[in-house]
Amino acid sequence: MGMVSNWIKDHSQEMAEDLSRINESELFKKNIAGFGMREKVIENLKELRSALFHSLYEKEVLRSEYISAHLSEHLNRAAIGINELIREVLVGKCMMDKTGCDRCSERAEEITVRFMQRMPEIRRKLSKDIEAAYLGDPAARFVDEILLSYPSIEAVSIYRIAHELFMMEVPVIPRVMTEYAHQLTGIDIHPGATIGEHFFIDHGTGVVIGETCVIGNNVKLYQGVTLGAKSFELDENGNPVKGIKRHPNIEDNCIIYSGATILGGDTTVGHDSVIGGNVWLVRSVPPYSNVYNSTPDPEIR
């Protein structure tokens, strides 16, 4: 302990001051989230998902006559928690922008009510996603195993919650949610992406779906698919321009096989198309296209 004690005595305070100066630099002044934001967002997600799928996230068997009351408890806690989180980031953004807004609490309550009213629609869409997984995977014998073990349902359920908040222009929180899903599942879906109904990612690991991607109904992706940006438009200072269309459009009834990479905001995969494994695609293809690499010719000895 002598060496540690000497370090604390001689260097700890100096290092603390250095770290404080770094945190006060111009870049880090753009922080708008308060202490413990990530943990609070994750905790709130658990309440929301318990309300959406009580049979999946509850630890105890509930008698049927008590389920409604129990769901109400989750919804109440979620509403209180999400309202506080939204208020916190809105206040932080106003302070960063120096707008002097005095409506942050009121706006947070308005957004919270709108968001909570969307919960039945989120649940309806997730039911379609679960159906897509069950019908789209011959290995799925029971709906329970999809709910309990498929990473795509984990990632997509969090995405669908986060997307609603993103569309309501809530900063920070939606991205924390989807990056938490990324950490859990290896599936990276930006909350700004627009994804239609009956969506399924088979296996899932390594899938990337960018912010401005638009995906239609009844689309199936396999592992390792990237729906990304071809390049970034830069401003006069050489920084990436935010919010422009950078990611592709995937129309209805498409299948994209493992390892395919589709890039660019002006790239559209027409409806009812099949994109083969490991295809690199940077231009649009018409509906009913089948896009494959040249057939490999392995030599077996």
Check which CATH number belongs to the domain holding 106 and give it: 1.10.3130.10
Q: Is residue 248 part of a domain?
A: yes
* In a shared domain, residues 109 and 136: yes
**DSSP labels, 189-208:** E-TT-EE-SS-EEES-TT-E
Name the amino acid, one letter, at 279: V
> Among candidates 103, 67, 63, 111, which has minimal Cα distance to 86?
111
Bridge partners, 285 (sequence order): 269
Structural domains in the chain (count): 2
Q: In this predicted structure, what is the pLDDT of residue 60?
A: 59
pLDDT exceeds cutoff 80 at 195? yes
Q: In this predicted structure, what is the pLDDT of residue 71?
A: 80
* pLDDT tens per residue, range 125-177: 999 999 999 999 999 998 888 988 999 999 999 999 999 999 999 999 999 99
* In a shared domain, residues 273 and 211: yes
pLDDT exceeds cutoff 70 at 290? yes
Alpha helices in 26-118 (DSSP H): 37-52, 54-57, 64-97, 104-117
Last residue of a domain, one of 148, 171, 186: 186
* In a shared domain, residues 292 and 238: yes
Gyration radius of the chain's alpha carbons:
23
Alpha carbon distances (Å) from 61 to 70, 92, 147, 215: 11, 41, 17, 37
Average pLDDT taken over every residue of the chain = 88
Q: In this predicted structure, what is the pLDDT of residue 58?
A: 60
* In a shared domain, residues 204 and 246: yes
> Among candidates 243, 188, 233, which has minimal Cα distance to 210?
188
Last residue of a domain, one of 157, 186, 215: 186
pLDDT exceeds cutoff 90 at 64? no
Last residue of a domain, one of 166, 186, 206: 186
Q: In this predicted structure, what is the pLDDT of residue 54?
A: 72
Q: Is residue 170 part of a domain?
A: yes
d(CA 99, CA 107): 15
Q: Is residue 157 part of a domain?
A: yes
Instruction: Find the domain containing 265 and state its range.
Output: 193-301
Q: Where are the beta strands (DSSP E) in 129-279?
A: 188-189, 194-195, 200-202, 208-209, 214-215, 220-222, 226-228, 249-250, 255-256, 261-263, 268-269, 274-275
Q: In this predicted structure, what is the pLDDT of residue 279?
A: 96
* In a shared domain, residues 269 and 294: yes
